[in-house]
Structure 1
Amino acid sequence: MVKKFNFTKAEIDALPLPQKGKRDTYHDTKVSGLHLRISSTGIKTFSVFKRIKGGNPERITLGRHPDMTIDQARRKTMEINLIIAEGKNPAEAKRKLKSEFLFCDLFTEYIERHSKPKKKTWADDLDNYKKHVEKQLSKKKLSEINRATVSLLHSNITTKSGPIAANRILALISSVFGWAISAGLWENNPAIGIRRNKEKSRDRFIQSDELPRFFQALSEEPNGTVRDYILISLLTGARRSNVCSMKWQDINFERAEWRIEATKNDTPQTVTLSPEAVEVLQNRKSDDSEFVFPGTGKSGHLQEPRKGWERILNRAGIKDLRLHDLRRTLGSWQAKTGASLAIIGKSLNHKNQNTTAIYARLDLDPVRDSVNTATSAMLAAGGLSNPSEIVQFKKKK
């Protein structure tokens, strides 16, 4: 039995699943030839089913719902119907339509339908695209972008911006095409098979002799929001995106804690706030915005304050220091004052403890003091006021 109805998102989402191994087909009453097929596993796919003059019916897959919207499916169907009406093969029509698709169009679809809804770092995708990809690929048809094109771009970025930046762009391009394949917008991924650069772990952090200049330059920063943002980034070691989107409702001044519900690792994190960090935040306390660091953009909060960061570094006379190095600075100084790798990993919310191994190279002498400090803390947490309550210890003078 042919099932026909005017496709709407609500009705499509409510459609029942067919029996195991079966597939149900629905026809759109608004645009001729547009079908929706549902598998027993719940996959819903738009397609065009039309007969060519003098030939058999042809089915052209368009994309999956909800990655492809109903309006997009209808638009594609009407384009294909027009070409079929001219007596052309629908498979060739599909290839022609796709070959006319520009990379900038595909990237826009990727950002709006995949990156923004599913990635906390979508702003990084957009920033990397504008910095490294837009001029080179945006106006190219997808059919013009092959492995050689992407490999050359990767090589040029390696020369200009370094191996790590080049690898990030290669990963972004691969992600865009990979998503396009799953959405039925393209058939191959030209980034697959390109060898990535070897990466060396970055170990830059603010050194002892740089701290006086850094704090002096920071105190002279005219933009109070930028100044406080950098201070909180340094004092908490939290990731840039989390600090930028910090909300007042997530801060508990009584417990001196900041609760991050969703981090890069997809796990919640409770960040302990030092007295200095609490003071910075209390001085900023305001009811004018839900965000600690409000911004003028669509998000409502501060994005990456690159220009302010550059001003501070120029005043301080410090080179080769990035905003992310503030996070590493806290971890490095924790190591220098004796914190264990486990403590550092916990405070920075590292998933893999091996990530914190870089800090262990910096200074081993404070480790002994750290153990002594941790022992005293454990005794205090256990309700003991003096170690002698367990066993006699003789303190060295």
Structure 2
Amino acid sequence: MPIPVVPLSDTQIRKAKPRERTYKLFDGGGLYLEVIPSGSKLWRMKFRQASGKESRLSFGPYPEVSLSEARARRDEARALQRSGKDPAQARRSAKAVRQMAASNTFEVVALLWLEKTKAERAEGTRRKIFNWLRKDIFPVIGAMPIAEIRPRQVLAALRHIEDRGALETAHNVKRAVGQVFRFAVACELAERDVTRDLGDALASVPEGHYAAITEPEKVGALLRAIYGYEGHPYTMAALKISPMLFQRPGMIRAMEWSELDLVKGEWRVPGVKMKMENDHIVPLPKQAVDILRQMHRLSGEGRYVFPGMRTHDRCMSENTINAALRSMGYSKEVMTAHGFRAMARTIMDEVLGERVDLIEHQLAHRVKDPNGRAYNRTAHLPARREMMQRWADYLDGLRAMQNSLDYK
């Protein structure tokens, strides 16, 4: 009959002295303390694998690992055995997972994301995003395994940007961090995009005041200058379509052929490209469809409607439209690429009397119904289609006016 093992006590362990040879003090359930001649005391556990082969686990040295901690680890190992798992193999797997997580830090994953997606943005934009991350995000969460980062830790990094008054940058960086997390999820390096939990934690960005021409006569002069501009065909087409569609300049530049249905006259922008991260539908007036059909003969074999001048693998540079406006004599204090949005918003509301909610839809602003719910992307699409055609026709009329005074 086996002699029952009397559980160890802390007093017994502390008083255990080294001998000439290593010896063991048993606690029960396979757990024992190994006392070696040097004086070190190591926790170990003896168990049998499913095959019957004897194996051992090491739980670390005493007193770093206390008696109660060693017993807890023993109990975990025995629970694994009861469920049919090999404790040693489970430990090796857990160690491999920890090592992989430790190597996949936010900085490592972010740099990989920038490299894998570099064809999707201009080099200047890529550098700007990298500098945002390097300056404000990497010092806070860059060294952390991306799978272990929590929303509050991302928010702490964003707060540094917000605290210095750079509210728009804080929101831009939040979107970039979210893209890194979604990339990590796709690569099975993280469970989810934790930036989605931040909601409205950041202060709102005040409405920007981009220089814009909003007087109809002066808009007519601007349109005649645009249609008289002699530059690269891509720039000429982008210039003509910008006031017609009044979308954000970055969206115009990054327009892709896969997003367009020229038969239906629709541009469907996926949410990943949008500031509000919702899909956006832009009804295309006939004039825009004609311009895009002409562009298809030039760039239809590639990805982007308005590709870069040097390579078709990237979209048009973010400075192209503004540079064209400057070459026509319109300074940044008078008109900007972003100003086409304010131009449309002001004239459509104050001059043409269009419904404000329809205008806001086309500006891709957040619009809610009377019950406070966000409209879906197809809300009032027929009415918006008619409004966009009226706007394009109105612009044609302004351009045709011969008695307008030039304004630069």
TM-score, normalisation: structure 1: 0.48
Using CA pairs under 8 Å that are at least 6 residues apart, name the structure with larger relative contact order, 1 or 2.
Answer: 2
TM-score, L = length of structure 2 = 0.47
